[in-house]
């Protein structure tokens, strides 16, 4: 049989390597930024267009390259950073594999301009899909500029796999954070579609963190310092009271490089034990410096997973160091945090006997009668009970009047309102601060308060969108909310929809905050900043949803604003919720397709007693 094995041509080998190194535009950003750092740059500029799909450009004022080096840099396994295999265990640079530029040039249009301090003229090189299409002398500043255009132009499957611009930008920003955080001595600027996202001067590590994550971060940081023979630890953890439920800011850097390590993460979590609820996630910015001979960086092409020689020792030292810092800065444990104060018996009632509920029957009672005093009362009360989050106004022009109308027509089918017996009163009570129990015709109804309210709010917001006649209330004192650059990018996409909903929000001239001048009638003023920030967080990694219109927006708002399980509801608010739920077009399911209530039929109850 003839021989069948042959060596792959370089451009094919490069494309294969690219599959590992370049997953998305953010991978290009990481490689180019790291090259600029390795070149000793003191100023680095990152420019992206359309989430990096159209352009990723990095401009540095580092060493630059000679003509020959410029040409060689795009060859596979071409590197200036190591000579021998042993060098792998004494790495001082970010790169060493010599494959990033070759990989990138195999799957994009690359344009490089570079000049060293010794040369008077520089070199310009254009490469498309591993092929050099132009090389000429050029007048360029000292340093290197590499632009990468039309990523994956020759691999449509990969290109189609990319997410929306917004999501890709979010990944790029993540990479930018990682590199910028651990190189505070380097100045960085970052532009997206012509707008400046970051402009970071040379500064301290702490200043860099604050610059990136906003000034409120400053008072939240607790320094961590520890020096042992195995490792030097320095950096900050965020005070436990500012921990978030979402992953948030978690950064480990080993020998100047961002790394991921669930093992070390666990050690930090263990140090926070007893200081915050278990579902909260600690935030941290921790630098670990170990002897380069005791760390293996070459276990993964992207170099974010590394292997430490003495992981167990590291775990223990890190945990102790974080614990020590938290203790030193007087962060006292939150004792018994599972204890729900709402469940305490008020002091005055502690020794009183339980009294059986009295039942008074009003035979004329009809909750669905528009002018029923009860109806009017819970209209008022429900708003109070839900902290005014959702006001049902009696105003005939209000969108909500249509719900009441539906409810009035549908009600008799569900509730036995004409039957003048005890059962006709659809009295409610709350179970486990989670369910509203009520009686219908021939069954017991158990309603999940959170899901039910989500449904009510969801339909309310959808109608508001459709009819465009939302009521806003102007704030007496407009609230300014500071946002990080990332939050601002996401927020910009959300703004038109928010304003259509009755918000009046503008960006300030400073560019790092927004001013809320008016809010929808259905919200309260108190938690506006929390609401906006929580809302943005929902979109952080799900950028495509930003554009997916009103339905998603209504869902998201209803999720954020619905009364939560665990919240005590007054009887009036319970009744209002029941009525509002059955005034909905689709009361059975929450907007997220979960059951809002279950029924226990009379005969099922009977059967249980057989
Ligand atoms: P590696 O960084 O692993 O060495 P790369 O493919 O990223 O591999 O780069 C190849 C070589 O090109 C580097 O070793 C370096 O000598 C040179 N190089 C790349 N980017 C720059 C830059 N911005 N400035 C100066 N030299 C660079
Ligand atoms: Mg490199």
Dist CA 46 CA 174 (whole Å): 13
CA-CA-CA-CA torsion sign (246, 249, 254, 256)? positive
Dist CA 561 CA 554 (whole Å): 10
Please count the CA atoms within 13 angstroms of the CA of 66 that sit on its side-chain side: 4
Q: Is 123 in the pocket of ligand 1 (CB under 6 A)?
A: no
Q: What is the pLDDT of residue 541?
A: 57
Residue with tokens 């070149």: 39
Distance 597 CA to ligand 2 centre (A): 57
Q: What is the pLDDT of residue 261?
A: 93
Tell me, rounded to whole angstroms, the distance of Cα 501 from its chain centroid.
22
Q: Which of 17, 35, 111, 114 to mutate to test the pocket of ligand 1 (most atoms within 8 A of CB)?
A: 35
Question: Do 403 and 583 contact (CB within 8 A), yes or no?
Answer: yes
Question: Do 37 and 61 contact (CB within 8 A), yes or no?
Answer: no
Q: Is 110 in the pocket of ligand 1 (CB under 6 A)?
A: no
Per-residue burial over 444-481, b = 16 or more CB atoms within 10 Å of its CB, e = otherwise? ebebbbbbbbbbbbbbbbbbbbeeeebbbbeeeeeeeb
Question: Please, which residues have CB within 8 angstroms of residue 286's CB and are 6 or more apart in sequence?
Answer: 224, 233, 234, 235, 236, 237, 251, 252, 253, 268, 318, 322
Q: Kindly list the protein residues that place their beta carbon closer than 5 angstroms to ligand 2, a single-atom ion.
A: 35, 95, 100
Q: What is the pLDDT of residue 87?
A: 85
Dist CA 73 CA 275 (whole Å): 50
Per-residue burial over 299-326, b = 16 or more CB atoms within 10 Å of its CB, e = otherwise? eebebbebebeeeeebbebbbebbbebb
Give the neighbor-by-neighbor strand order of the sheet with 143-149.
Answer: 131-138, 122-128, 109-115, 143-149, 55-60, 43-49, 187-192, 195-200
Ligand 1: residue whose CA is nearest its atom 21: 35
Distance 561 CA to ligand 2 centre (A): 47
Distance 73 CA to ligand 1 centre (A): 6
* Residue 597 CB neighbour total at 10 angstroms: 23
Question: Please, which residues have CB within 8 angstroms of residue 106's CB and are 6 or more apart in sequence?
Answer: 11, 14, 15, 17, 18, 129, 130
For residue 102, give the ligand 1 atom closest to its CA.
Answer: 6
The closest alpha carbon to 113, from 125, 105, 130, belongs to: 125
Q: Is 31 in the pocket of ligand 1 (CB under 6 A)?
A: yes
Q: What is the pLDDT of residue 529?
A: 75
Give the neighbor-by-neighbor strand order of the sheet with 443-448.
Answer: 428-431, 435-440, 443-448, 597-601
Distance 509 CA to ligand 1 centre (A): 39
For residue 63, give the ligand 1 atom closest to its CA.
Answer: 25
The closest alpha carbon to 250, from 539, 318, 241, 259, belongs to: 259
Q: What is the pLDDT of residue 186?
A: 97
Distance 97 CA to ligand 1 centre (A): 10
pLDDT averaged over 10-residue windows placed end to end, the chain, 610 residues: 87 81 94 97 97 96 97 91 86 88 95 96 96 95 97 91 91 96 97 93 95 90 94 95 84 96 94 86 96 88 87 95 87 44 38 41 45 36 35 34 33 41 62 90 89 91 74 82 84 81 85 87 67 72 53 78 86 88 89 90 85
For residue 99, give the ligand 1 atom closest to its CA.
Answer: 6
From the CA of 113, the nearest ligand is 1
Q: What is the pLDDT of residue 406?
A: 32
Q: What is the pLDDT of residue 10?
A: 84
Distance 168 CA to ligand 1 centre (A): 24
Q: What is the pLDDT of residue 426?
A: 57
461 phi and psi angles, rounded to 5 deg = -70, -35
Question: Please, which residues have CB within 8 angstroms of residue 296's CB and are 6 or more apart in sequence?
Answer: 88, 89, 306, 307
Residue 15: in which H helix or E strand, if any?
helix 10-21
Task: Tell me whether strands 131-138 and 143-149 are parallel, antiparallel or unpaired.
Answer: unpaired
The closest alpha carbon to 34, from 11, 9, 54, 60, belongs to: 60
Task: Tell me whether strands 131-138 and 472-482 are parallel, antiparallel or unpaired.
Answer: unpaired
Q: Is 81 in the pocket of ligand 1 (CB under 6 A)?
A: yes
Look up residue 352 and give its two tokens.
Answer: 């009183």
Q: Is 97 in the pocket of ligand 1 (CB under 6 A)?
A: yes
> CA end-to-end span of the chain, whole Å?
82
Q: What is the pLDDT of residue 359?
A: 42
Dist CA 188 CA 41 (whole Å): 10
Q: What is the pLDDT of residue 526?
A: 58
Look up residue 152 and give its two tokens.
Answer: 């994956």
Bridge partner list, 519: 473
Q: What is the pLDDT of residue 353?
A: 43
Cα dihedral 161, 165, 170, 176 in deg (nearest 10): 100
Distance 146 CA to ligand 1 centre (A): 11
Question: Do 444 and 605 contact (CB within 8 A), yes or no?
Answer: yes
Question: Do 456 and 489 contact (CB within 8 A), yes or no?
Answer: no
Q: What is the largest CA-CA distance in the chain?
A: 100
For residue 499, the SS3 value is helix
Question: Do 77 and 103 contact (CB within 8 A), yes or no?
Answer: no
The closest alpha carbon to 104, from 63, 149, 62, 137, belongs to: 149
- Helices (DSSP H) in 190-341: which residue ranges? 205-213, 262-271, 311-328
Question: Do 441 and 414 contact (CB within 8 A), yes or no?
Answer: yes
Residue with tokens 């919200």: 523
Q: Is 168 in the pocket of ligand 1 (CB under 6 A)?
A: no
For residue 73, give the ligand 1 atom closest to its CA.
Answer: 12
Question: Please, which residues have CB within 8 angstroms of residue 342's CB and are 6 or more apart in sequence?
Answer: 433, 566, 568
Ligand 1: residue whose CA is nearest its atom 17: 73
CA-CA-CA-CA torsion sign (431, 435, 436, 437)? negative
Q: Is 581 in the pocket of ligand 1 (CB under 6 A)?
A: no
Q: Is 80 in the pocket of ligand 1 (CB under 6 A)?
A: yes
From the CA of 36, the nearest ligand is 1
The closest alpha carbon to 239, from 330, 317, 337, 339, belongs to: 330
Residue with tokens 């967080």: 537
Ligand 1: residue whose CA is nearest its atom 19: 35
Q: Is 76 in the pocket of ligand 1 (CB under 6 A)?
A: no
């Amino acid at each position: 049989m003839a021989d069948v094995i042959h060596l792959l041509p370089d451009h094919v080998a490069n494309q294969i390597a690219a599959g590992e190194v370049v997953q998305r535009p953010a991978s290009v950003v990481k490689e180019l930024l790291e090259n600029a750092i390795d070149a000793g740059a003191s100023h680095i500029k990152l420019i992206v267009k359309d989430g990096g799909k159209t352009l990723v450009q990095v401009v540095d004022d580092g060493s630059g390259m000679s003509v020959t080096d410029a040409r060689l840099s795009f060859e596979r396994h071409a590197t200036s950073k190591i000579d021998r295999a042993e060098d792998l265990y004494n790495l001082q640079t970010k790169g060493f594999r010599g494959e990033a530029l070759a990989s990138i040039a195999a799957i994009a249009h690359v344009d490089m301009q570079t000049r060293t301090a010794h040369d008077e003229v520089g070199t310009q090189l254009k490469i498309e899909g591993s092929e050099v299409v132009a090389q000429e002398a050029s007048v360029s500043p000292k340093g290197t500029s590499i632009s990468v255009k039309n990523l994956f132009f020759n691999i449509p499957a990969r290109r189609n796999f990319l997410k929306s611009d917004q999501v890709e930008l979010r990944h790029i920003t993540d990479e930018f954070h990682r590199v910028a955080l651990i190189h505070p001595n380097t100045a960085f600027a970052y532009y997206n579609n012509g707008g400046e996202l970051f402009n970071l001067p040379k500064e301290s590590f702490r200043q860099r963190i604050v610059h990136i994550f906003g000034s409120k971060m400053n008072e939240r940081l607790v320094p961590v310092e520890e020096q042992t023979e195995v490792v030097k630890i320095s950096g900050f953890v965020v005070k436990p009271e500012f921990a978030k439920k979402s992953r948030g800011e978690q950064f480990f850097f080993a020998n100047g490089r961002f790394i991921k390590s669930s093992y070390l993460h666990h050690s930090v979590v263990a140090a926070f034990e007893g200081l915050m609820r278990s579902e909260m996630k600690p935030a941290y910015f921790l630098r670990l410096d170990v002897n380069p001979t005791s760390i293996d960086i070459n276990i993964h092409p992207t170099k974010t997973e590394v292997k430490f020689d003495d992981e167990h020792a590291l775990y223990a030292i890190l945990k102790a160091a974080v614990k020590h810092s938290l203790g030193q800065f007087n962060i006292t444990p939150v004792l018994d945090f599972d204890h729900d104060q709402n469940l305490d018996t008020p002091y005055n009632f502690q020794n009183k006997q339980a009294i059986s509920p009295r039942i008074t029957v009003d035979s004329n009672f009809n909750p669905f009668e528009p002018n029923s005093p009860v109806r009017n009362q819970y209209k008022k009360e429900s708003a109070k009970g839900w902290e005014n989050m959702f006001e049902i106004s009696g105003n005939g022009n209000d969108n909500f009047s249509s719900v009441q109308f539906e409810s009035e027509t549908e009600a008799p089918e569900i509730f036995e309102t004409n039957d003048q017996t005890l059962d006709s009163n659809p009295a409610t009570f709350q179970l486990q601060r989670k369910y509203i129990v009520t009686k219908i015709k021939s069954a017991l109804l158990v309603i999940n308060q959170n899901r039910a309210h989500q449904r009510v709010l969801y339909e309310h917001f959808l109608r508001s969108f459709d009819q465009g006649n939302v009521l806003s209330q102007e704030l007496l004192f407009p609230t300014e909310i500071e946002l990080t650059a990332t939050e601002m990018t996401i927020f910009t996409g959300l703004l038109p929809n928010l304003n259509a909903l009755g918000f009046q929000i503008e960006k300030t001239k400073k560019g790092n905050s927004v001013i809320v001048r008016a809010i929808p009638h259905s919200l309260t003023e108190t938690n506006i900043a929390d609401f906006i920030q929580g809302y943005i967080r929902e979109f952080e990694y799900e950028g495509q949803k930003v554009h997916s219109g009103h339905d998603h927006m209504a869902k998201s708002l209803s999720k954020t604003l619905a009364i939560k399980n665990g919240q005590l509801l007054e009887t009036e608010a319970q009744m209002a919720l029941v009525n509002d739920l059955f005034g909905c077009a689709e009361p059975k399911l929450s907007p997220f397709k979960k059951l809002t209530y279950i029924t226990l039929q009379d005969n099922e109850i009977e059967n249980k007693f057989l």
